[in-house]
Amino acid sequence: MNKLLVVGTVAFDAIETPFGKTMKILGGSGTYVGLAASQFEVQTGIVSVVGGDFPNSYLEILHSKGINTQGIEIIKEGKTFFWSGKYHNDMNSRNTLITELNVLEDFKPFVPAGFKDANIVMLGNLHPLVQNSVIEQMSKKPTLIVLDTMNFWMNIALDELHAVLKKVDVITINDEEARQLSGEYSLVNAAKKIHEMGPKYVVIKKGEHGALLFNEGNMFFAPALPLAEVFDPTGAGDTFAGGFCGYLAKTGDISFENMKNAIIYGSNLASFCVEKFGTERMQELTSDEVTKRLQAFKDLTQFNIKLS
């Protein structure tokens, strides 16, 4: 079985949307990536850090999905990373209410021996130096290194971000951040500039407007599934990345044609993630549901024009 190594946050989230609000619940980019990837026959390991306040039951959720948590360091005297946010009525914008870095502040990622030869490495949204440290711990060059980042790191660690970008194959980034990183408004031009920074593949996430995959003149688009209700968008981007990486890890095929399928799977899984608060929907999601929704994506996008 192919191995997927994920570095990202494992955290507490408190979320408020027009539909309600939660207490501190299980969250974090590593969590969402891992849960999404667990839909595929892949050995997934998460590298992260939590505090002594992190409930064992949350780790059990990950274990129950076959996710290896050896790489999740528990700092007994520390507190788990906590994020709280409130979504506006349109669900497309949100305010961060609280960010407590806690144990994340001095996070030194440790890659367990069993994952130093992972086929695919997903570097979740963390400081570029942390991302780089994971790459350096690999004993074997991975088939594919995927990196996610955000404007925060562009603002405070741009040089380090550029350094790690030279080592990665795929970047996943949202549209506004792609514009910031490249200085280009057009996403086509932005992808071209980011490509020159290192990644052969550029995935631009546009939230409810879908995702674009670019690779040297090739371009593919996966829409988001239009939904009657978006309950909570938290984790949708990470779930998308987890579906993308999980599918590529399972198939072991990193051709552009197969990456198309991978971003469709990413979009597929993300469409479930937003249906309930936090990780709730991803915890209960079955492969039958995923397969059925794949048909919805085909119906949504596939056409058959016969040229006369």
Which stretches of the chain bind a second copy, using CB under 8 A? Answer: 89-90, 185-189, 206, 209-210, 212, 218-221, 223, 226-230, 257, 260-261, 264-265, 291, 294, 299-305, 307
Of the two residues 166 and 292, which places its CB atom closer to a second copy in the complex? 292
CB of 301 to a second copy, least distance (A): 5
Q: How far apart are CA 25 and CA 41, in angstroms?
A: 27
SS3 assignment for 15-33: EEECCEECCCEEECHHHHH
CB of 242 to a second copy, least distance (A): 17
Nearest one of 122, 93, 116 to 6, comparing CA atoms: 122
CB of 191 to a second copy, least distance (A): 9
CB of 186 to a second copy, least distance (A): 5
272 contacts 282 by C-beta, under 8 angstroms: yes
CB of 76 to a second copy, least distance (A): 44
**Residues 6+ positions from 233 with CB-CB distance below 8 Å:** 87, 91, 92, 94, 207, 274
Instruction: State how far the alpha carbon of 231 is from the alpha carbons of 20, 94, 241, in Å.
Output: 9, 13, 20
- Grouping H, G, I as helix, E, B as strand and the rest as coil, residue 151 is helix
**Residues 6+ positions from 230 with CB-CB distance below 8 Å:** 91, 208, 274, 275
Of the two residues 153 and 214, which places its CB atom closer to a second copy in the complex? 214
CB of 29 to a second copy, least distance (A): 25
61 contacts 31 by C-beta, under 8 angstroms: no
> Is the alpha carbon torsion for 269, 263, 240, 64 positive or negative?
positive
CB of 201 to a second copy, least distance (A): 15
Of the two residues 133 and 215, which places its CB atom closer to a second copy in the complex? 215
Of the two residues 18 and 66, which places its CB atom closer to a second copy in the complex? 18
- Tokens 């026959």 sit on residue: 41
Of the two residues 93 and 291, which places its CB atom closer to a second copy in the complex? 291
Of the two residues 220 and 272, which places its CB atom closer to a second copy in the complex? 220
Of the two residues 113 and 307, which places its CB atom closer to a second copy in the complex? 307
Instruction: State how far the alpha carbon of 305 is from the alpha carbons of 261, 302, 308, in Å.
Output: 21, 10, 9
Of the two residues 155 and 291, which places its CB atom closer to a second copy in the complex? 291
Containing H/E element for 57? helix 56-64
CB of 37 to a second copy, least distance (A): 17
